[in-house]
Amino acid sequence: MAPKDIQTHLMGLIRKSHRLELEYLNSLSDGARTANGTFEEWAAKDRISHNTYWRRRCIETLSYLSRDQNPPEYPTYEECNRQNFDETRELSVQALLRESDQVITAIPMALERFSEEDFRKQGFHPSLKTNTLLWYTLHNCYQHPLYHISEAYLQLGNLKKMNEVQDLLIEDVAGIDNSPYVLGTVLYDRACFYAMVGAVDQALELLQKSINYRPDVAAWASEDPDLVSLHEDTRFQQMIVNGESPAAS
């Protein structure tokens, strides 16, 4: 089988994440699918709205970058999330799904404006800082949405589905971008999900791998409430000391 071009590969992953969103929604009762949430405790449709917002914003950013223009100066992450929640909280799940489908349909045209070299080039544009265009797109349109679906399954107590989604995510991401920065990021998130369900040994194993790829995540780990179940473990404490040391950076 011929290797996929990067746009086709990316789009396959993005569509997969969308299918997993729909699978999550379809696993719920009618009441849970249509319920309204709060900003502090999202309902199912709030997660769909949130994921759609960040995919749509990714398309907008790609459009600016394809013209060699700076993207807009957006408000903070929290402010954007709050504004999107307020604007969409009363919309029906059917309306949100229609918008989600429209955004997914628009992504291929945005991807086609760039070459594989563009996607993988470090420092493609100053607005991306240390991120590649590939990771920016992959994060906003695939990894970030599946983080929230994993989180939803965790809150439902469906650990089997949470683990399936997280393991699939790591496999998929590594198949398109195995750079240390990206692998360190997704392994860190996986360690967090293990820690949140009390799987301490698995969490520590992946956290160590994450720090090996990205020593800077040790600073996150020391303050991350998702990892609180690890904080008293001497193995965790040693990881943080070693990860934050100059020799590890």
- Whether the CB-CB separation of 236 and 207 falls below 8 Å is answered with yes
Report the CATH superfamily, name and number, of domain 1-158: dinb family like domain (1.20.120.450)
pLDDT in tens, 104-147: 999 999 999 999 999 999 989 999 987 899 999 999 999 999 99
pLDDT in tens, 173-210: 999 999 999 999 999 999 999 999 999 999 999 999 99
pTM: 0.93
d(CA 134, CA 213): 18
Question: What average pLDDT does this structure show over 62-71?
Answer: 95
d(CA 212, CA 34): 43
**Domain(s) of CATH 1.20.120.450: residues in the chain:** 1-158
